[in-house]
Amino acid sequence: MSLMFEPLRKYAQFSGRARRSEYWLFALFTFGVGVAISILRLIISGPQSLESGNFDALGLVSLAFSLATFIPSLAVGFRRLHDTDRSAWWILIALIPLIGVIVLLVFYILPGTTGPNKYGPDPKQTIKDAAETFA
């Protein structure tokens, strides 16, 4: 559960590495909150609330949530790419319609490099080392 909110604790930390679980739990959290806000808007204000140009209180909540999670989402994406030993510049591949997003998703799904790489120590190994210290 703590990994879900790790990107918020590392709000604008673009260096280092992020485990797959950290990335995907945060992605699931942001997606879930976005869906919940949209459903509430539909229930309270009806389908016209989701049309462009219509803005209500829940629209402001949705905008505030999107703005609050934009930087952490970008940062955890950078760190996830670093974990696969790729430059954060690879995030720009998402600008290529469809193919770019698929390639980026594959990068996010792939396991990270084992052991340290040029972006830092293996986040899985760091957890194992801490567990051995307290064992």
Q: What is the pLDDT of residue 99?
A: 96
Global pTM value: 0.83
Host H or E run for residue 5: helix 2-9
Q: What is the pLDDT of residue 131?
A: 56
Query: What domain range is 56 assigned to?
Result: 2-134
Helices (H), 10-56: 20-45
Q: What is the pLDDT of residue 12?
A: 92
- Compute the distance between CA of residue 78 and CA of residue 33 in angstroms, rounded to an integer: 22
117 in helix, strand or coil? strand
Q: How many domains does the chain have?
A: 1
Name residues of the chain where pLDDT drops below 50.
none
Structure tokens at 109: 């799904």
